[in-house]
Each structure stands twice: as structure tokens, then as C-alpha cells.
Amino acid sequence: NWVNWFRSLLCSELGRQEICFREKERFTPSVMWFEILPSYGIIVAAFMAPTVITYGINKLAYGKPFRRNLRYEFERLSYMRDQRLTGNAYKVQGLEAIKP
């Protein structure tokens, strides 16, 4: 049984009495599930901060919350086409925007 193997490994290597249990007792962790919530909140905030910050900067600088991706040549050409045809690369228009 891998549980017994893990218990014996912990008891023999670490020598900690709180990890070693009697055979009839079940393992009950000393940490409650809700004690992880502050750490979880910090991690979520750290991962969401760049998204929120760039959203605000783009909204202030460009008037739109997101910038267009200009990584590939097709995307750059599409951006320049929209800028030329409509005057605003972020305003979506159809064929009616093309002047004859």
C-alpha cells in the first residue's frame, strides 16, 4: 500500500512525531481548507494584474481597452488597410466604408 510506504518514509527520514500515526487513526491534516484562500487570492491577483493594468493604459492612451495584435505581416497589413479605409483602425465597418 502506497500510503503505508509514504508514512514509513516520512517517519523514518524526518523523524517527526506529528507525521507518524498509529495504525488505527486516520490522517487528518492540521490545516483547514479555508486557510489557503489568502495565498490563492495573492496568486490570482498577481496573475490578473498585468491584464488589468494594460486594460487601463490602453483605455487611457488609445480610447480602446485592447490594442490590435500586430505580430504578423497579415495583421499589420489589415491594420493599415482599416486605417486607410475608415480612418480608425479600431472601428469595424463593412464594404460600405470603401469609397468608390
Regarding predicted confidence, which is higher, 25 or 83?
A: 83
Global pTM? 0.43
6 vs 21: CA distance, rounded Å = 12
The highest-confidence range among 27-31, 50-54, 90-94, by mean pLDDT, is 50-54
Write down the pLDDT at residue 39.
92
C-alpha cell at position 46: 498577481
Query: Would you call 31 exposed, middle or buried from its count of C-beta atoms within 10 A (0-12, 13-18, 19+)?
Result: exposed
Give the C-alpha separation, 91 to 78, whole Å.
12
Q: What cell numbers appear for 39 in the block?
A: 495565498
When pLDDT is averaged across residues 37-57 and rounded to a whole number, the result is 93
